[in-house]
Copies of this chain bind each other. A is one copy, B any other.
Amino acid sequence: MRASDRAYAALRDDIIEWRLRPGTVLAEVEQSERLGISRTPLREALSRLTAEGLTTTAGGRGVVVTDISLEDIDELFELRETLEGKAAALAAERGDAALFLQLQKELLEAPDLISGADPARHEYYELVGRLDEAIDAAISNSYLAQAMRSLRVHLVRVRRLAADDAARLTAAAAEHAAIAEAIAARNPRLAEAATTVHLHRSLSHVKATHTPH
C-alpha cells in the first residue's frame, strides 16, 4: 500500500474518532514524523482530507481539523434527508426486491445482534452497512452514490458524539427494516417517507444525547 494512502487512512481515522480534535493544527513536518513518512505523501493525504471537508487550509499556516457544531449537524441531516430520501425512492424503482426482502428479514432479527456479546455491535453495523451498499448499488447513479459516500464520512464523525444505547439501536433497526420493506415492495414514496422518519428520529437522538467534547 502507498504511504500516502496509509497517511490518509490514519489521519481520517484520527479525526473521525475524535483523537484529533477540531481546531488541531496539522503541521506537515510534525505529522510526517509522527506517521514515519516524508512530507510529500503527507501533503497528498492532507489534500484529500481538505477536499472531503474534514480539514481546511488555514491560509498558508497549515491545515486545521474542521469543527462540527450543532448547526452543522442540522445542515448535514438536511442534505442527508434530501439525498437518502431520493436514493431510497430510486432503489424502490430499480432495486432487486428479493435482496431487500432478505435484508428486511435480517434487520428484524437485529435485536439479537444488539443484545449480543459484542459491545461494539460489529455485526449490527455491518448489517446496516450492507443495506447502505445495497441501496447504493440499486440506484445505479454514480454521482448520487458519490455524494452520499462523501456525506457518510461526516456522519460517522457525528455518530461518535451520540450515545448509541441498545434501545435506540433496536428502534433504528426497526426503522431500517421498514425502509427495506418499502423498497422490496417497490413503493418509492413509502421508501422515501420511511427514510425521512428514520433520519428525523436519528437526528433527535443525536441532539438529545449530544455530549460536548
Produce 1/0 per residue, A58-94, CB < 8 A to B.
0000000000000010011011001100100010000
Binding site for B on A (CB under 8 A): 40, 43-44, 47-48, 51-53, 72, 75-76, 78-79, 82-83, 86, 90, 140-144, 146-147, 151, 154
**Residue of A40, A51, A82, A86 with most partner-chain B CB within 10 A:** A82
- Inter-chain contacts of A142 with B (CB < 8 A): 72, 75
Q: What's the Cα separation between A144 and B83 when bound, in Å?
A: 10
B83 touches A82 (CB 8 A): yes
Q: What's the Cα separation between A51 and B50 when bound, in Å?
A: 10
Q: Of B76, B143, B151, B154, which is within 8 A of A75 by CB?
A: B143
Sample of 13 further A-B pairs with CB below 8 A, known A44-B44, A75-B141? A43-B44, A47-B47, A47-B51, A53-B143, A53-B146, A75-B144, A78-B90, A78-B144, A79-B141, A79-B147, A82-B82, A83-B147, A147-B147
